Structure formats: C-alpha cells, structure tokens
Structure 1
C-alpha cells in the first residue's frame, strides 16, 4: 500500500515531551470500558488494568511491533463470566478465560496452515451479526437492574434516585458522544462516568469511605517508605496453582459457556484488523499476518486468566484515536500499556473506581450494550445481507430468539448449553446444513486465503 499521511509512522519513536501525552490519550480512551467489565462481573478493576497493559505488550511483541492496537476488557464475555462465576466462582471464570484464549491459539495455527477461508465459511455475517445482537441485548436486563434498583439487597427495590442518576449519566454520555469534538470526542464513556459520579455525590449515593482511608494513609505517611507503601497496593491476583487449583474448579459447563463466544470474538477481531488496516493503510492481515494478530489476542486473554482479569480484545475506541490523530506509533500504544499497569498498582485509583455507584455504570451500560447490539445489525447492513431470503431469515430468527430468550439444553444436573453459546452453535449448524450458503455472505467481500497469507520471508 502507499505511504500514509501519518503524523507518526508505526515504528517511529515520539519525542519524550509528547510521548506521555499521546499515551495518556489512549489510556483515557480505553479506561471507561475496561473498568466497566470487571465492575459488572465482580472482578477487580485494578487487575483488569494490569492484565490489559501486560496483554497489550504481549500483543505488540507477538505481532513484531507492526500493529498499533490496544487490548482491553471484552464486553462479549460479560454474560459468560457471570455464568462461569456462578458455576465455579471467580476461579471458574479464569479457567473459562484461559480456554477461550486457547481457542484463539488453535485458530491461529489453523489459519497459518490452511488460510482464513474456512473460518469465514463457519462464521459468515449471517451468523456473527445476530450473535453480536444477542450479546448486546442479552445484557440489557443487567443494565436496567443496575440503573433502577438499590444495589446489595436480597430483593429488587426500585429507587427513583438511582434511576435519575442513571438517566443523567446516560444523557451526558450521549451529549458527549454526539456534540463533543477533538480529544473529548474520544472519551465520551469516561466523561459520562465522571459526570454521573459527580451528580451521584449530590444525591448522596456515593460511599467515599475507602477513598478517605487511602488518602489518610498517604497524608499521614511519616517516611518515604511509608508513603510508597500507602500509595502502592498489591492487587489480589488470582493465580492458578497458587491461590486455587484449576482441576478443582474445572467443569464442562464452563467450557460450553466460554468457548463458543471465543469463535464469535475471533470473527470480530478479524473485522477490527480490516478496519485498522484501512486506517493505517497497511495490510496487517498479510504482514505480520492475521494468525499472529489472533495469537496475540489469545495470549493476552490467557495472561489475564493467569492474573484474575477478564478476557482481552482489540479496542475500537483506540482505533478511533488512531484514525483522528494519525499517530500510529506502537511506542505510544506501549506507553499506554505501561501506564495502565502503573495505575493498577495505585491504591487510591482502585478505591475511586470501587466507589462508583452501580446506577452510574447502569446508565453508561444502557448505551454501551445497545451499541453492541447495533454493531451486530450494522454487520448485516454493511454486508448487504438479504433478510427476504428465507435461509437468512431462518438463521437470524432462530439465533435471536434462542439467545435473547435464554434457551438452554440441560445435559446433566450441572451441565447445560445456554443462551448465547447455544444460539451461536445452532447458528453455525444451520449455516452449514442449509442450502444456498452464498446468501449468508451478502455482498460483502470474503477474504481470499492469499490476501492474508504471510510473505515467505515474513512467515516465521
């Protein structure tokens, strides 16, 4: 491809005085969404930040420093993590995350050996689009519950105060998304959370006791050692064979909850790489190769599972930052990753995140989960999927009703295929057995294996 009109090329090192500012911009762009996932699933936001940073650095290493992509917490795994946690605790969710990362690795090897055509045939737009809609709408009740009800009670108690906070947060987030420009247009989620937090304080639903305790410890430190001990914390990492035994929490239910979702997120990842290639004007699917990109994503997810964080994925928010700033340097992305790791060890940051009311997160989630569903609809539209075609109509309809309706197959007392996983598997099955498969691709471009194969000299 032709030379880009980049402010900084992929391998250019920014000047020191600009480096930290550019990296902070990426950190702010991903921050709101990355901490929202652990907040919703009961995992540690501090660990999510650390695993996000480490995962991004691993991704940059595996892709040979050629793809400027930041990885943060994946929204697609929210419902599976909640289900896996209910089955095997937080450790169970980590087992599921590791297996999902392993799926990425297997797919990466298969793409390296066989090309990408087989993946596109299993997961065409007519399957992936409706499943993404299920991912978003399946979480709708979670967002509404957080927005409307008093948290921490055994039964649901409606609160007009909490719902007002949620609606104000939602309104500010929408305004920031539509009307803000420049740098502020890149961080509407963070703006919504901060503004909602401030409004929630005026309504008396913010518990700042942990923040006060952290601040008291910092201000009362009588020595340099005591100051650092007060500022820095050691997150409670969930490490296999150290804090728990994987063999004791493993179950086939966790496998069925997490693994099918990994196939869908791999298809999403491929779409992200196409968009990123257009933005940077370099064919990342060819060099360093889609197999390396998927492997990097999988390794980042496995790293998160070894620490107690949610699965990682490439972030559209940060691709947006690249498109606007034209700063493509992987050193800027790496700087953001280092800052995320640093923030994860700052106790007062964790205390502030922990004090965010569920109503604020509920308000933001109403928009975010709807956007996920809308992206699934967009996939169908962009690929010109014809829903007047009976085959397409059947596949999409069955996926939507099974997934959103919460259907499940009970295999044993403790084993079931449920909701999103079931809808994805049924969608893949219907796509493979029903005739006229070409209609499932619409008018979108099916990747030719030769387009994503590595050059011989770059394959290693």
Structure 2
C-alpha cells in the first residue's frame, strides 16, 4: 500500500525546478555535523565533504537505489581518531578506518548468510547503550575546553561566543518548525559566527579570524581571465592517499587497530537503529528489501572510500532522516544530488576558508549539545528496549562499561621486543562489556523487553 502523503517515492525523479532545492535541504541538514568531526580531529573538512558525497553515492549504488540515506562523518570515531593520530599519524588513522570498514563488510556477509537474529546476541542493548553513553560523555571535556579556554587559559569573551552559539542552537531546535527545525546545528554555527564577528570588532579580541576568507574573495574578484577565475574559485582538497602520502604496511599499528576497529561494532548497532527509523518513516521494510546486509555493506564501503582519501569514517545521518520525515520526499535522486553538491563544496576554495575560519568556541558551544545528545541516545536505547537496571546483572555490566570508558582506563599488552599494544577507553569498555555479557548468567535480561529489530510491515 502506498502512502498518499508521499511527495516523491524512493525511485521517483523530481522535476529539475525542485531537485536542487530538495538536495540543498539535505546538504544543510548534514553540513554542521559533518564538518565538526574533521574540525575536532585535525582532518581536512574539504576532504570530509568529498568523502561523504562519494560514500553516499556508493551506498546508493550498493543498496540498489532503494534506501534514501545520506552518510556523513561519524561522531563515534572522534576519540579513537584523536588517540590513534598520536600513535600512527594520519596514515595510521586511515588504515584503522579502512579495517573498521572491513568489519562492516564481514558483518554484512554474516547477516546475508545467517539472517539478523544472531546479531542481537552479539550487540545486546545492555552493552551498546552504555557504550554510546561513553562516546558522548567521553567527549564532554573536549567540548568544554573548546568553549572556555584559549591555549589552556580561560577567556570570558570566547566563552560568551560558545554560550551564544549554544543558546541559538537550543532555541532553533525547540522553536523552529519545518526544515529550519532540522538544521539547528547549522543555524547555531551561523549565529555564533555572526556574534564572533561583532564581538571581535567591539573588543578587539580576535575571536574570529576572517583573513583567509577575505584573501580568497579578493583573489576571485581580482581575476583577470576565465582561467584565473576558476583557479581562484576551486582548489584540490588535501587528500591523504595510500602508497602516495604514506605506506599502509609501514604505519599499520596494532594499538591503532584496537582503538578504532571495535567502534565499528557499536556504529553497526546505531546503523540498525537508523534503518529501523527510516523504514518506519518511509513505510517500507528496508531491513528486508534490499536487506540489512546491503545497507551495512554500503556503510562499510563508504568508510573505506573515506580512508582512501583522508576523511573520517562515514555513517548514516539521523538529521537527514528527519528531513525525509518532514518533506515526505524519499527520492534517492534527491539524496544523490545532495552528495554531488557536497563533493562540489569540497573543491570550492572560499567555502573551505569559511569553514576553517569558524571560531573554536563556536564549535565548542555546538559540541556541548551534540555530545550530550549522543550520550542521551545511549540512555534512550536502554529505555526503548526496556532494559531493567533493577536486575543486578544489567546494573553491573552498564556500571563497569561507564566507569572504564569515561574514566579513561587502558590495558597495555606486551607483544615482544619491548613493544606493547594499548587498548583504551571506549574500545576497552566495549570489549569488557561484551565479555561480561557472555560470561554472566541471565543473558536474556540484557536484551530487554523491547525489540531492536521490530520493523514495519512490508508495504511493497
């Protein structure tokens, strides 16, 4: 049965007059979150935009053009990337990201072979929920430091920019309706950017530096030929290419692998949740057709594409699912259009300069809300699945995961020749949570009374 409220179905092609507008809506919805991850991890924002666009196009191809999902930078990998960067540099991070994508591929093959029922035994809500909470709360010190401090010292002027940004973002998320209600992060960044511009002019304290933007604009308007114009308008992002910029086998580090690869298990659980929500919004059973194995494979391939370019791992975006819910435009051609626009944005010099000029406290203000939302979504997973923390087993597992993950515990494993492999923080908490769930009696209580895999009737 077809929903009469559907404006465009999944494989319908929009009219040219509306296609661009619909695609721009999705671009705006993902933009704020996608650029925040590379901003926090010292990766290129331009590369992140290009890799998110290419990853989304690959996802559409792998899912046979049957799932209207946009993929952007994954927040779950922020802390692992930061830690891995200190160990193996950008090249090491990209190898770890590629291997995380391989995990997606392996899981997709297992799901194709054995169905979906087994995965809940590997990823029970009593483990995944607390690990997601760890992801959010583990990032909290980073958000607060960005909001309050400059070179480690408190700055009231900078903190005011963070506070204004946070307030605008909160008001936008609560008060705005329609498409504007779906882009509170972007609205908050724009509002905080404007405030920083004003406060810099008033106080003389350089909260915002627009020299790069001005230089790019001057170069564009002073072009004396078509060739100069295009040369000043476009740039080649700072791609990090394997076997060109680094040798993968030389930077391969077991500590980096153990930091990043286990996170793929958690993000797969988030992916499944997104597919459930998307299925309900669109009135189709995407878990059944084209299949969860295809969507997870698409997610993994998108992450591997990013790793070949120097971008952060990708994942499906809840913000864009929200756009689908409001507009009722489910066309994958619209999603593909947004992906192409993201790729183009990554090559436009003045856009990358504007992104680079966003003040740290502005991003800190947005991060306070975003990281809290991540932690809250882990709590929501426990609630939605009706996991009873009054049962001692569940209480023990969740408590141990939270303290080990947030406390920053780590384990050094000697591997000979004086070398050690470190398993730290989030990855360690996930490992211990999975082990406790396997060895403690009463496994059925960890699944809760809700069903992680409940899905709508197949309307196709």
Aligned-residue CA RMSD (Å):
1.5
In structure 2, the residue matched to 1:429 is 435
Deviations 1:12-46 (A, max 9, x none): 00000000000000000000000000000000000
**Partners in 1 of 2:316 and 2:440 — Cα distance?**
33
In structure 1, the residue matched to 2:369 is 367
Residue 189 of structure 1 contacts residue 364 of structure 1 at CA under 8 Å; is this kept in 2? yes
The alpha carbon displacement at 1:167 in A equals 0.7
Deviations 1:160-196 (A, max 9, x none): 1111110110000000000011121011000000100
The alpha carbon displacement at 1:420 in A equals 0.1
**Partners in 1 of 2:240 and 2:47 — Cα distance?**
9
Residue 146 of structure 1 contacts residue 358 of structure 1 at CA under 8 Å; is this kept in 2? yes
In structure 2, the residue matched to 1:386 is 388
Three-state SS of the structure 2 residue aligned to 1:416 is strand
Three-state SS of the structure 2 residue aligned to 1:174 is helix
Residue 135 of structure 1 contacts residue 373 of structure 1 at CA under 8 Å; is this kept in 2? yes
Residue 4 of structure 1 contacts residue 281 of structure 1 at CA under 8 Å; is this kept in 2? no
Residue 4 of structure 1 contacts residue 280 of structure 1 at CA under 8 Å; is this kept in 2? no
Three-state SS of the structure 2 residue aligned to 1:313 is strand
In structure 2, the residue matched to 1:136 is 136
**Partners in 2 of 1:438 and 1:415 — Cα distance?**
34
**Partners in 2 of 1:180 and 1:3 — Cα distance?**
26
Q: Which one of the candidate residues 293, 296, 301 is aligned to 2:295? A: 293
In structure 2, the residue matched to 1:336 is 338
The alpha carbon displacement at 1:446 in A equals 5.2
Alignment pair present for 1:356 and 2:358: yes
Larger deviation: 426-435 or 439-448? Answer: 439-448
**Partners in 1 of 2:292 and 2:4 — Cα distance?**
21
Q: Which one of the candidate residues 159, 176, 181 is aligned to 1:185? A: 181
The alpha carbon displacement at 1:118 in A equals 2.0
The alpha carbon displacement at 1:68 in A equals 0.2
Larger deviation: 405-414 or 206-215? Answer: 405-414
In structure 1, the residue matched to 2:66 is 66
**Partners in 1 of 2:439 and 2:108 — Cα distance?**
25
The alpha carbon displacement at 1:411 in A equals 1.2
In structure 1, the residue matched to 2:87 is 87
Deviations 1:278-306 (A, max 9, x none): 00011000100000000000000000000
Residue 273 of structure 2 contacts residue 452 of structure 2 at CA under 8 Å; is this kept in 1? no
Matches within 5 A, 1:48-59: 48-59=48-59
Aligned length: 448
**Partners in 1 of 2:221 and 2:134 — Cα distance?**
48
TM-score, length basis structure 1: 0.95
Deviations 1:243-267 (A, max 9, x none): 1111111100011000110000001
In structure 2, the residue matched to 1:26 is 26
In structure 1, the residue matched to 2:10 is 10
Residue 49 of structure 1 contacts residue 341 of structure 1 at CA under 8 Å; is this kept in 2? yes
**Partners in 2 of 1:91 and 1:213 — Cα distance?**
31
The alpha carbon displacement at 1:5 in A equals 2.8
Deviations 1:415-457 (A, max 9, x none): 2110000000100111111111111111112549xx89x9xxx
Q: Which one of the candidate residues 283, 286, 305 is aligned to 2:285? A: 283
Three-state SS of the structure 1 residue aligned to 2:29 is helix
Q: What are structure 1's unaligned runs of at least 5 residues?
A: 455-460
In structure 2, the residue matched to 1:173 is 169
In structure 2, the residue matched to 1:247 is 249
Matches within 5 A, 1:98-247: 98-150=98-150, 153=151, 156-204=152-200, 205-247=207-249
Residue 138 of structure 2 contacts residue 406 of structure 2 at CA under 8 Å; is this kept in 1? yes
Deviations 1:104-154 (A, max 9, x none): 00100111111122211011110000000000000000001101111xx3x
**Partners in 2 of 1:6 and 1:446 — Cα distance?**
26
In structure 2, the residue matched to 1:444 is 450
Residue 276 of structure 2 contacts residue 453 of structure 2 at CA under 8 Å; is this kept in 1? no
The alpha carbon displacement at 1:3 in A equals 4.3
**Partners in 1 of 2:122 and 2:440 — Cα distance?**
12
**Partners in 2 of 1:315 and 1:134 — Cα distance?**
20
Three-state SS of the structure 2 residue aligned to 1:415 is strand
**Partners in 2 of 1:178 and 1:216 — Cα distance?**
39
Q: What are structure 2's unaligned runs of at least 5 residues?
A: 201-206
The alpha carbon displacement at 1:203 in A equals 2.0
Residue 105 of structure 1 contacts residue 295 of structure 1 at CA under 8 Å; is this kept in 2? yes
**Partners in 2 of 1:338 and 1:360 — Cα distance?**
27
**Partners in 2 of 1:210 and 1:247 — Cα distance?**
37
**Partners in 1 of 2:379 and 2:266 — Cα distance?**
15
Residue 58 of structure 2 contacts residue 298 of structure 2 at CA under 8 Å; is this kept in 1? yes
